[in-house]
Amino acid sequence: QVRYTWLDALAIIGRLNADSAVALNDSPRGRLDALQETWGEDAQTPGRLASFDIPSQWLILIVCWGIALWLLMIFVPAVLRKYKWDPASKRLHLPGGATLVPSDIAEFDKRKWEKFLVFLRIGEGHESLGGKELKLDLYRHNPLESWILEMERIAFPEQASESAGQDDDTQEAGAPKAAEASA
């Protein structure tokens, strides 16, 4: 029974071969003495492996690598997409190389503001983005929200003051502001 248990344990970890079976038959007493010398009398011997222990470790590895790959697919594009702000000229530099000033923007569409998205409709006069609508993710690019709000205050001061009043009402109702939630 002891030999069967030993060979079964070797089979579970994938180390069962002809040499291990021969080594077991050579000198059981010598093998026991060697193991007692290695582990000592005070050492805790490891528990017996179940047949599902090793496959479950492989399953955990596959699941963790899947999650890591998914996170990598989220982080890499966000890191590569860089926005820059020039406070002196109030100019937003976009990842593609284009720049925007408040006068270039025809509309600040905040229909998905609670999801940290803003859509900018660019005026026809812009050299490269004229007539297009840009979707900006404020959640993944933290300082972008304050830059967009500053551009809105400059381009449409009356609209910015109305939306600021709505934000205050929403804050009192218990919903967090986008800046506080993303921080």
Over residues 2-41, the pLDDT tens digits come to 778 888 888 888 888 877 766 666 676 777 787 778 777 7
Neighbouring CB atoms inside 10 A of 172's CB total 8
* pTM for the structure as a whole: 0.53
Calpha distance 136→13 (Å, rounded): 51
Instruction: Kindly tell me if the per-residue pLDDT of 125 is higher than 50.
Output: yes
- Residue 183 confidence (pLDDT) above 70: no
Q: How far apart are CA 148 and CA 135, in angstroms?
A: 12
Q: What distance lies between CA 161 and its chain's CA centroid? A: 35
pLDDT for residue 126: 78
Higher pLDDT, 134 or 169: 134
Q: For position 69, what pLDDT does the model report? A: 97
List the beta bridge partners of residue 135: 119
Choice between 177 and 26, residue whose per-residue pLDDT is larger: 26
- Collapsed DSSP state (helix, strand, coil) of residue 107: strand
* Two tokens, residue 83: 């926005």
Pairing of strands 105-109, 117-122: antiparallel
Of all residues in the chain, the percent with pLDDT exceeding 90 is 11
CB 86 within 8 A of CB 101: no
CB 147 within 8 A of CB 100: no
* pLDDT of 114 higher than 80: yes
Residues 6+ apart with CB under 8 A from 138: 116, 117, 118, 144, 145, 148, 178, 182
